[in-house]
Structure 1
Amino acid sequence: MERAADPSSIERLRRAGERSAPGASRGTAEISTMGGSKAWIAGAAGLSLSREERDFFAGERPWGFILFARNIDSQAQVSDLVAAMKEAGGRDTTPVFVDQEGGRVMRLRPPLAPAYPTPASIGRLFSLDRQAGERAAWLQGRLLAADVAAFGFNADCVPCLDVPVEGAHSVIGERAYGLNPDTVATLGRAVADGAMAGGVLPVIKHIPGHGRGDADSHLELPRVHTSRAALAVSDFAPFRSLNTLPAAMTAHILYTDIDPVRPATLSPIVISSVIREEIGFDGLLMSDDISMKALSGDLYDLSAQALMAGCDLLLHCNGDMEEMRRVAAAAQPLHGDAQRRADACEAIIGRGGEAASIEAMRAEYQDLMAQVA
């Protein structure tokens, strides 16, 4: 059943959050300590955690953390920052995420980590030789896991399951494994399996599909006018095929035939009726970065709407302290299904990686990808 975001409920949450926000009182810290981690993922401003950030995270208890290029300088520095974030989270399995896809989306770059061909290159190999393409996808997932795990990361925001169409914005482009939903699903599954074999939590994105977006959601809100029936056949299909994977990130997209008012991240219709019911995804659902320009409004209000719509977690990436205070004030301690899903993700992290000869895998991967170089 659709659960609408009641403005009066958001206003009550706002008043409660402002009373307990850092600087107002210590109420939020007390609540979050009693209830465990809160429903958000945080970034950091620089190359190390400041005293202010350490104190803030101790009180606001984000479930996990994420690093971006501004946080990355050297092997030792990144490893120290990841370790500090895990310490702030208070658990060995505190998730620390990075976007390491291959192609243009690589936060860790040479000499810190190898460069990889685009996901689309794997799709081209798959079109020539299905077995070779699927093996290359698994190897890329496994090698990416080894690369990020060397710094202490235990979560990677891959694979991208979006299916681009002609005329769409290029923000997805070669980040997609192909233009066919079955290809995207097959290769996305292999990448995710490779990541988990390396002890790294994968996050499928951008559910229920960013491939038709007419804008870059980092800068403005994309709109998709395609009918729900047509979306179900193509855009939703890879996510439906991979609906048992542990975690997913929403698309900041307005699907006008499904909810003409609210983008997916804020839409109880999209999250309940499409993501949870039609696609059948019961894993951990995190928002895309709540501070992206696709969403407009006060960050407390946006955060409250996303949680009320059905997101399990809020993702905030830019490390801006004042913005983080607004997001953290809206986030509540994880409980119920959200806690169950979060625990399942941490269980994958806790298993660790399988023993493997990374150099042998790297050589095999390079031989396979040489066919489409």
Structure 2
Amino acid sequence: MTTRAFIAGCSGLALTPDEIAFYREASPWGFILFKRNIADPAQATALCEALREAVGWDAPILVDQEGGRVQRMGPPHWPKYPSGRTYGVLHANDPLVQREVTRLGARLMAHDLRAVGINVDCMPVLDVPTAGAHDVIGDRAYGRTPAQVAILGRAAAEGLLAGGVLPVIKHMPGHGRAGSDSHLALPIVDASREALERHDFAPFRMLTDMPIAMTAHVVYTALDPDHPATTSRIVMDDIVRGYLAYDGLVVTDDLSMKALSGTFSQKTEAAFAAGCDMALHCNGVMDEMIAVAGAAPALAGEALRRADAALQRIRHEPEPLDPVDARARLDAALAMVA
């Protein structure tokens, strides 16, 4: 079966006949869900089953479930999880406890996601904020130093993997220095390459064994003053595949974000021309999805190898977990910073 190298959203809590027909024809590699798509466990499970039925295989289903401000599944049906920063300030003088609690939180999130059929979580955030940066990252970051972000980011990623859910490290090669929100405008970062390597790129270089990475819609003038990372052949070749030596699946950030210009066909073509493996389109707007699908290639070659290698990482039974005991331990740890 041939799939196309894109990930699609959907419009609501259940698939429309037009969406089912589109997915069957376009055959996206995967899907992504948002709050508009999730009401309760039974509905979320039914939607995941319908998406996979539409494409005829156990396609990956993604969600942004970081905790804090970015949590698509929450109360009353799922517990609230802390932001990355909360883990970073917890037991500040005991990094071992920080790592253990961060892993535990991610392991519990994986339990929640896998129970409804979601098997990819777009976390951990490996961006390192700097003074004066836009707060679009802010408390989503695990700390303010590359080392802390890398250590706790790895703990979160390993917690997800232990629960049978793929992590997506983001936003490669670094969004923490951006002065604007790429959902709304194109951030321009003027830092030197030396500064970027020392600060922004460092956590990604320490987690190159992770299976999937999401790009940053950010221009780094020291690297490519004309294109954001998502559509920059220079950044993809010299930094992502070169300096970082990352050989996992590279997925674009959402192509509907305002940071990127051009039609959806043009944005999709530019991302693949730069060297991205997979296009991500999130809002479920049919005309836009059709354009992305039309410009996305069949998943083949190195991109297919990377996609298959990623899925292989979760073809196992999750490690044993008592969710009631684990949640009690997480809550006890978090009570210390409440």
Question: Where on the TM-score scale, by shorter chain, does this alignment land: which range?
Answer: over 0.9
For residue 206 of structure 1, give the secondary structure of its aligned residue in structure 2: strand
1:323, 1:352 → 2: CA distance? 37
Asked if 1:91 is matched to 2:91, the reply is: no
Give 1:348 deviation, angstroms.
2.1
Q: Which residue of 1 aligns with 2:22?
A: 56
Provide the C-alpha distance between the structure 2 equivalents of 1:345 and 1:286, rounded to a whole number of angstroms. Answer: 12
Query: Residue 242 of structure 2 aligns with which residue?
Result: 277
Output the CA distance in 2 between the equivalents of 1:88 and 1:193.
31
3-state secondary structure, aligned to 2:314? helix
Task: Please name the residue that 1:121 is paired with.
Answer: 86
Deviations 1:65-116 (A, max 9, x none): 0001111122221111111112223222x11001000101000110121001
CA distance 1:216–1:178, shift in 2 (3 Å): same
Is 1:366 the counterpart of 2:317 in the alignment?
no
**Following TM superposition, by how much is the alpha carbon of 1:296 offset from its aligned partner in structure 2, in angstroms?**
1.2
Higher mean Cα deviation, 291-300 or 345-354? 345-354
SS of 1:258 mapped into structure 2: coil
- Pick aligned residue for 1:205 from 170, 191, 198: 170
d(CA) in 2 for partners of 1:84, 1:224: 42
Deviations 1:162-192 (A, max 9, x none): 0000000000000000001000000000000
Count residues with an aligned counterpart: 338
**Residue 75 of structure 1, aligned match among 34, 41, 44:** 41
User: 1:30 is matched with which residue?
Assistant: none
Using structure 2 for the length normalisation, give the TM-score. 0.98
Question: Which amino acid is 1:91 matched to?
Answer: W
Match of 2:209 in 1: 244
The answer to whether the aligner puts 1:37 opposite 2:38 as a matched pair is: no
Give 2:175's aligned amino acid: H
Residue among 335, 338, 355 paired with 2:303:
338
CA RMSD in angstroms, aligned pairs only: 1.0
What secondary structure is seen at the aligned counterpart in 1 of 2:116?
Answer: coil
What residue identity is the alignment partner of 1:324?
A: M
State the TM-score, normalized to the length of structure 1: 0.89
Tell me the SS of whatever aligns to 1:135: helix
Contact between 1:149 and 1:200, CA under 8 Å: does it hold in 2? yes
List runs of 5+ in structure 1 lacking aligned partners.
Answer: 1-32
What is the identity percentage for the equivalent residue pairs of Structure 1 and Structure 2?
51
Secondary structure at 1:289 match in 2: coil
Q: In the alignment, is the contact (CA less than 8 A) between 1:64 and 1:89 conserved in 2?
A: no
Q: Which moved more, 1:213-222 or 1:82-91?
A: 82-91
Runs of 4+ deviating beyond 3 Å? none
**SS of residue in 2 equivalent to 1:288:** coil
The residue type equivalent to 1:163 in the other structure is: V
Write the distance in 2 (CA, Å) between the matches of 1:277 and 1:192.
Answer: 23
Taking the aligned partners of 1:348 and 1:48, their CA distance within structure 2 comes to: 29
How far the C-alpha of 1:265 sits from its partner, in A, is 0.2
Aligned-partner Cα distance in 2 for 1:290–1:352? 33
2 CA distance for matches of 1:52 and 1:115? 34
Gaps of 5+ in 2: none
What secondary structure sits across from 2:205 in the alignment?
Answer: helix
Q: Is the 8 A contact 1:201 1:348 kept in 2?
A: yes
Does residue 262 (structure 1) correspond to residue 212 (structure 2)? The answer is no
**Alignment partner, residue 16 of structure 1:** none
Deviation string, structure 1 residues 37-58 (Cα, Å, up to 9, x no partner): 1100000011111111111111
Q: Look at both structures and tell me which one has the larger radius of gyration over its CA atoms.
A: 1
